[in-house]
Amino acid sequence: MNNYYKHFKTIIKHKWFVMIECFKLGLYWQGIVHDLSKFSIAEFKERAKYFQKDRSAVNNIKNDNGISFSVLHHKGRNKHHWEYWVDFNDGKLIPCKMPIIYVKEMYCDMVGSSKAYHGKNYNKKEPLEYFLKIKNKIYMNEDNKYYLELLLKIHANLN
C-alpha cells in the first residue's frame, strides 16, 4: 500500500510542475487535465506496483512483462505524446503532424517532469539534453521536432 501512496504523490507533484509550465504558456485547460489518465486503474495499479522514487518504473515493467499496458493506455489517450500521432499505412509508420498546442504541452511535460524528479538539483538544460538523446529514435513529425527543440533551447537559454 505504501507504493500506491508514494506513486499518487509523484503523480500530483508531476501534474503540479507541468501545470505551472502550461499556465506560463496560457495553456490553462491542458495544465488542469494533463495526464488525468494516470489516475485510471489501467495505469495507476501497474505503475504503483513497480514504483521507484527517482525514476519511471516503465523499464522495470517492460523487463518483467515484455510490455507495459499502462504505457499503451497512457500514450493512446494523451495527445501530448508523439506516439499518439503515429499512424501505420502500407507497412510504414507515418508520423502525423501534431497541433502546436500539444507540442507545447509536450514541452511543458518534459520541463515539468525534470523539475519534479530532480527538485532542487534541477538544471534548465536537462529537458533539452534528454530530447537530444531520443530525438533520432522517435517517429515524430520533423516540423514538430524542430519546434519542440527550439522551445527547449529557449528554456535552456541556448537560442
What are the boundaries of each domain within the chain?
2-155
Q: Taking 70 as the threshold, does the pLDDT of residue 60 lie above it?
A: yes
Residue 92's beta-bridge partner residues? 89
Residues 6+ apart with CB under 8 A from 35: 11, 14, 15, 18, 74, 78, 109
Q: Find, among 71, 81, 8, 85, the residue nearest to 43 by Cα.
A: 71
Residue pLDDT, tens place only, 102-156: 999 999 999 999 999 888 999 999 999 999 999 999 999 999 999 999 999 999 9
Cell numbers linked to 89: 499505412
Cell numbers linked to 126: 536537462
pLDDT at residue 75 in the model: 93
